[in-house]
Structure 1
Amino acid sequence: MKYILVSGGVISGVGKGIITSSIGLLLKYCGLEVTAIKIDPYLNIDAGTFSPYEHGEVFVLNDGGEVDLDLGNYERFLDVQLHRDNNITTGKIYKQVIERERRGDYLGKTVQVVPHITDAIQQWIERIALNPVSEAQKTPDICIIELGGTIGDIEGMPFVESFRQFQFKVGLQNFCNIHVTLVPQPNSTGEQKTKPTQNSIRQLRGLGLSPDIVMCRSQQPLAESVKNKISNFCHVPPEQVICVHDCSSIYHVPALIADQNLVGYLCNRLQLPISVNMDDVLLDWRNLALSYDRFDDQVTIALVGKYTMLKDSYISVFKALKHAAFACGRQANIFCVEADHLEPEMKIEDPVKYHKAWEQLCQCSGVLVPGGFGKRGIEGKILAAEWARVNRKPYLGVCLGLQVAVIEFSRNVIGWKDAHSTEFEPATTNPVIIDMPEHNPGDLGGTMRLGSRTTIFKTDCETSILRKLYDDKEKVSERHRHRYEVNPTVVSQLEEKGMIFVGHDEEKQRMEIMELRDHPYFVGAQFHPEYLTRPLKPSPPYFGLVLAACGSTPNKILSSHARVWKNRGWRMSQTAA
């Protein structure tokens, strides 16, 4: 087994996740089985209880693991399915060690950070690195490990010490350290500054790790003199200083680092049994990146949410929309609309925000209401669903987005004026959305309906547009993250008025997919289809939304689907053409 550690310096959020994903993509293109691990040095057990403003969205895996959003990048780039243990946190490690101590596994010894915590980290990595993550179920050849945070952070010290020991344990020929730093370029001088990189690498070396490759993030390509200076002061040959400057899209990054002979170096450094022409290997990926830049036509979608101040809160939704737009030959222009700005109270409190929010909504060709929690903004989301229904605008509701569409329909079509979700109004006399017990009460973390679940299409709904978009399959598996669902007792009344639930769970109790009759595209999904989107395989519900927003009727949507991607394994070169 070969290991690549990706560490970061100077600042957090420097782009380690995309760089890790890009390295994995290159090695996978070379025929290697690749897995990835993300280390987050916080004490939380997982990301499940985070506010989206803390670390962005919570990404959900097939096994129900609530993990860091970088694992979503890994899955999308590598087209693999990771496990909850591929996300290591300080909380998980300490919990495991404390449980061992309580069982007496340490035979009365004093339990310390070194060696007990550091040993637990190394054992975890070696165990998870062997887990198959591809459909072939082969043991990975190489494991890429991203160490979150910044070198020097006190909470990351046990992990750095673990890797200091680990490099000797597995052998230096099986371990490589790539250090990602920032090379700032102040506007006052316009000069690229290397001092932060020098200090970061000096600190890394002081902790016992010596970088094999220095990846420099910068606004502009590094000047040759700057690269030589970093090489000279950081004791790294110039060819091992790689520039990763800002690009028009993240899909340029794999080719950018491949053109600087990263793969050739890794082959020699880790003795990898590959010999490939990277120009041939990356032809399809270059076409993808260039195509993203070439499209002039746009499709405008309004994302009505409550965490829109931080785009990472909806990163998978953004990716799903962009992948779907790419398949349609368009650029996705996404307007983020704060849900509570649509509410009548905002008209009095801040008329400018109110009118701007409605202006953005009315300018869009399609509406997306994503998942979320809490009462704030819920009435604004209901108003957005009503606007899309009444004005026959394409609408996709995901998780809570389906629920608000049901609430709106119940109020304004059926006439249940106080219809609501018991999540927000426990005493409502018309609870159309209720808590469907499947989770453990009490704790918040890991207690929802999580992970991959099967959705079965009803046999009498063969005209379902979403079923056609799913290649006319009888059942599909998608990932869930929720506690509340459509009340089964009101389904028949909703369907009498034209809101049809075309998909349900295996027990026929949980409503999974909703479609509105006599509407160009009004769809809701209780699951989160964005978690399985891929650059070359867009999520079917999002693909349908974008096609409808481009002006396609249901019949045109299905014919476009059949033409563009009859087989969901289509190659990039076919799409780019």
Structure 2
Amino acid sequence: MLSIGERRNGVLTILFLVELLRGNVERSYLKISIKMKYVLITGGVISGIGKGVIASSIGTILKCCGVHVTAIKIDPYINIDAGTFSPYEHGEVYVLDDGGEVDLDLGNYERFLDVTLHSDNNITTGKIYQYVINKERKGDYLGKTVQVVPHITDAIQEWVTRESQRPVTTDNVEPEVCILELGGTIGDIEGMPFVEAFRQFQFKVGRENFFVVHVSLIPQPRSTGEQKTKPTQASVRELRGLGLSPDVVVCRSENRIGPDVIAKITNFCHVAPHQVISIHDCTSIYRVPLLLEEQGFLKVIRERTNLDVPYEAPPQFMAKWKSLAERHESLSICCTIALVGKYTRFEDSYASVTKALRHAALEANRKLILKYIDAEDLEKFRQNEEPVKYHDAWKELCGADGVIVPGGFGKRGVEGKILAANWCRTNQKPYLGVCLGLQTAVIEFARNVLDIENATSTEFDPEFVKPLVIDMPEHNTGTMGGTMRLGRRVTIFQPGKASILKELYGGDDEIEERHRHRYEVNPEYVLELESAGLKFVGKDETGQRMEAMELDGHPYYVGVQFHPEYLSRPLRPSPPYMGLLLASSGQLESYLASDKKCRARKLSYSNQ
């Protein structure tokens, strides 16, 4: 198929009109919005360089200038989605309102841009090939040989065109700019079809509507202390060789790059000095939008795409983000939270949890000290095998102001989580259990208060006669991907039950939070548990599924089956996490006693 030529001054070229009349242009490309601008973020040298934060920060600046922004993350792996990933492989699995299990970068987009994305905002190679193969099976290609070019590349472009125009805000306004983040690094064989697709795409939408940002590492070896540009030169050369030219080169470095480095990149990467932006390691990710703005990013994108934005961001934007960054850096009163988890060797495994804790700490005016404790290190077998790890883990747990036990899968480390729940319950230590954290708290209570010997979950012991936690057969069809209870669902606070959680949510009778689980509390034991003091204050619409629990007489012993961290925002922290930070810092009672603050909390949380 012939490619569409560039548009000039809003008029399609004669070549495109001729080919359109001849019928050589596919109908799907006629749906491309002539107003839409696309910003493609690529990476060089190494992966995990911070493209997601750069993409989110660019979207934040544009949104604060009044531009409607959406975002798409492209992951070149063959998996259909991120649902079956090990947390050690790719970090946490982020869950969207529609139940999509996606890359954790979409969490960055939602938190920074305060939008609601959809599962199709995450494109994978597996999704694209599945889409093309399904069309081939139905005969849509009329017997043609199905190839990477043009069929895979066309499918990528069709997907981007369709999803970029889907509204992502409550006002249902079509976006004006789509941020596209291409995962991996330029040169990866898995990403080649996507690079080729965007090489074609830039001409179909018009070069003035297509803006490329290349994020590359500037290493600084300690032996010489000199910042090296050769890796970036090679990366940009490869990108240009594949048909994409960067409009901005973002240099990630340990320290701010100097004029000499900028001059080298200008000479060898075919960009002007003002198109080279330095993003050095910062004390807070909230500094990144400020760094982009102060180095003239808006001016570059305006001159290159004719986007209707000012040359400088509005003062109120600068004030808001500067205040956020300064508050984060100036907090001096510490609050220590112990995170007892199964995947603590890789911090990204709990990315949303740690960000929700930081949002709450900012609101509570506390400097968060986060201690990661491997749940296995709390178990008794460690006392003999690795006594140092065992004693260090218990020392950190006992020294924390509060404890959070997040979600997870499998039997490993569960006994350690149960011990952590027991210690918090018996020592009046603030505790928040999320998903598996709620289930382990229920199991611990059944064992030690109700004297149900060896109380457990069918996840850990399928043969147990009366388990406290059971699986949900309707959400477990024998396959792993997409078979859980997923997405945003309603939780109803039970009438007549006093609830700290309900107060934290502003007194609403029902709330909506995102879920990701296939096990739940066995309803057969609910009356027995509640008669002993473990109250289930929140249930689903049927009244059969336990969504939230609290412990009578405890300052803050809370468990939730949902994942409230997915809806936490920098300026609007999640209520359960807020409760944990307030209780851990001795502020919860005074906070709840303030009717004004509760009304403000209700207003801010309902506006999402």
Under TM normalisation by the shorter chain, which class is it? over 0.9
Contact 2:80 2:125 in 1 (8 A): yes
The Cα RMSD (Å) is 1.2
* Structure 1 residue 472 corresponds to structure 2 residue 507: yes
CA distance in 2, matches of 1:184, 1:483: 44
From 38, 46, 56, the counterpart of 2:91: 56
Tell me the amino acid that sits aligned with residue 201 of structure 2: F
Tell me the amino acid that sits aligned with residue 223 of structure 1: G
From 342, 346, 364, the counterpart of 1:306: 342
What are the superposed Cα offsets for residues 97-124 of structure 1, whole Å, 9 maximum, x if unpaired? Answer: 0111011000000000000000000000
* Structure 1 residues 302 and 560, CA gap change in structure 2 (3 angstroms): farther
Q: Which residue of 2 aligns with 1:575?
A: none
From 594, 597, 606, the counterpart of 1:563: 597
From 14, 35, 38, the counterpart of 2:49: 14
Q: Which residue of 2 aligns with 1:201?
A: 236
Residue 198 of structure 1: how far off its partner (Å): 0.3
CA distance in 2, matches of 1:41, 1:82: 19
From 460, 469, 475, the counterpart of 1:424: 460
Tell me the amino acid that sits aligned with residue 550 of structure 2: E
Contact 1:327 1:564 in 2 (8 A): no
What are the superposed Cα offsets for residues 35-84 of structure 1, whole Å, 9 maximum, x if unpaired? Answer: 00000000000000000001100000000000000000000000011000
Residue 438 of structure 1: how far off its partner (Å): 2.9
Tell me the amino acid that sits aligned with residue 189 of structure 1: T
* Structure 1 residue 264 corresponds to structure 2 residue 299: yes
From 411, 417, 420, the counterpart of 1:384: 420
From 339, 344, 359, the counterpart of 2:395: 359
What are the superposed Cα offsets for residues 158-210 of structure 1, whole Å, 9 maximum, x if unpaired? Answer: 00000000000000010000000000000010000000000000000110001
Q: Which residue of 2 aligns with 1:397?
A: 433
Q: Which residue of 2 aligns with 1:69?
A: 104
CA distance in 1, matches of 2:66, 2:349: 34
CA distance in 1, matches of 2:43, 2:603: 35
Contact 1:30 1:276 in 2 (8 A): no
SS in 2 for 1:368: strand
Residue 429 of structure 1: how far off its partner (Å): 3.2
CA distance in 2, matches of 1:274, 1:317: 34
CA distance in 2, matches of 1:548, 1:173: 53
Residue 563 of structure 1: how far off its partner (Å): 3.0
From 398, 408, 414, the counterpart of 1:372: 408
Q: Which residue of 2 aligns with 1:82?
A: 117
Map residues 82-161 of structure 1 onto 2, 5 A cutoff: 82-161=117-196
The normalised TM-score by structure 1 is 0.97
CA distance in 2, matches of 1:562, 1:516: 26
CA distance in 1, matches of 2:599, 2:349: 29
Contact 1:418 1:429 in 2 (8 A): no
Contact 1:537 1:569 in 2 (8 A): no
SS in 2 for 1:57: coil
Contact 2:591 2:597 in 1 (8 A): no
CA distance in 2, matches of 1:99, 1:261: 45
* Structure 1 residue 297 corresponds to structure 2 residue 333: yes
From 21, 40, 45, the counterpart of 1:5: 40
Would you identify which runs of 4 or more consecutive aligned residues in structure 1 move more than 4 Å? 567-571
Q: Which residue of 1 aligns with 2:254?
A: 219
CA distance in 2, matches of 1:172, 1:225: 30
Tell me the amino acid that sits aligned with residue 139 of structure 2: G
SS in 1 for 2:475: coil
CA distance in 2, matches of 1:569, 1:527: 21
Tell me the amino acid that sits aligned with residue 563 of structure 1: K
Contact 2:296 2:312 in 1 (8 A): no
* Structure 1 residues 228 and 564, CA gap change in structure 2 (3 angstroms): farther
* Structure 1 residue 248 corresponds to structure 2 residue 298: no
Map residues 314-333 of structure 1 onto 2, 5 A cutoff: 314-333=350-369
Tell me the amino acid that sits aligned with residue 139 of structure 1: E
Unaligned runs of 5+ in 2: 1-35
Tell me the amino acid that sits aligned with residue 426 of structure 1: P
Residue 458 of structure 1: how far off its partner (Å): 0.6
* Structure 1 residues 485 and 562, CA gap change in structure 2 (3 angstroms): farther
* Structure 1 residues 552 and 567, CA gap change in structure 2 (3 angstroms): closer
Q: Which residue of 2 aligns with 1:434?
A: 470
CA distance in 1, matches of 2:587, 2:106: 34
Q: Which residue of 2 aligns with 1:532?
A: 567
Contact 2:64 2:314 in 1 (8 A): no
Contact 1:416 1:430 in 2 (8 A): no
Tell me the amino acid that sits aligned with residue 116 of structure 2: Q
Residue 566 of structure 1: how far off its partner (Å): 1.5
Q: Which residue of 1 aligns with 2:17?
A: none
SS in 2 for 1:200: helix
CA distance in 2, matches of 1:58, 1:36: 18
Tell me the amino acid that sits aligned with residue 52 of structure 2: G
* Structure 1 residues 561 and 330, CA gap change in structure 2 (3 angstroms): farther
SS in 2 for 1:414: coil
Identity %: 62
Q: Which residue of 2 aligns with 1:552?
A: 587
Map residues 509-528 of structure 1 onto 2, 5 A cutoff: 509-528=544-563
SS in 2 for 1:420: coil
SS in 2 for 1:302: strand
CA distance in 1, matches of 2:314, 2:587: 37
SS in 2 for 1:81: coil
Contact 1:395 1:521 in 2 (8 A): yes
Contact 1:418 1:428 in 2 (8 A): no
Residue 92 of structure 1: how far off its partner (Å): 0.2
Q: Which residue of 2 aligns with 1:574?
A: none
CA distance in 2, matches of 1:521, 1:515: 8
What are the superposed Cα offsets for residues 421-479 of structure 1, whole Å, 9 maximum, x if unpaired? Answer: 01101122331100123314111000000000100011112x20000000100110000
Contact 2:65 2:314 in 1 (8 A): no
SS in 2 for 1:372: coil
From 446, 454, 461, the counterpart of 2:482: 446
Contact 1:38 1:86 in 2 (8 A): yes
What are the superposed Cα offsets for residues 114-173 of structure 1, whole Å, 9 maximum, x if unpaired? Answer: 000000000000000011111111100100000000000000000000000000000001
* Structure 1 residues 536 and 510, CA gap change in structure 2 (3 angstroms): same
The normalised TM-score by structure 2 is 0.92
Residue 570 of structure 1: how far off its partner (Å): 5.7
CA distance in 2, matches of 1:124, 1:552: 49
CA distance in 1, matches of 2:293, 2:553: 50
Contact 1:341 1:380 in 2 (8 A): yes
Count residues in correspondence. Answer: 569
SS in 2 for 1:282: helix
CA distance in 2, matches of 1:438, 1:471: 33
From 294, 304, 309, the counterpart of 1:274: 309
CA distance in 2, matches of 1:563, 1:247: 32
From 177, 199, 218, the counterpart of 1:183: 218
CA distance in 1, matches of 2:596, 2:506: 9
* Structure 1 residue 490 corresponds to structure 2 residue 517: no
Tell me the amino acid that sits aligned with residue 106 of structure 2: L
CA distance in 1, matches of 2:478, 2:594: 47
From 451, 457, 470, the counterpart of 1:415: 451
Contact 1:537 1:568 in 2 (8 A): no
CA distance in 1, matches of 2:499, 2:337: 23
* Structure 1 residues 60 and 521, CA gap change in structure 2 (3 angstroms): same
Contact 2:77 2:125 in 1 (8 A): yes
Tell me the amino acid that sits aligned with residue 50 of structure 1: F
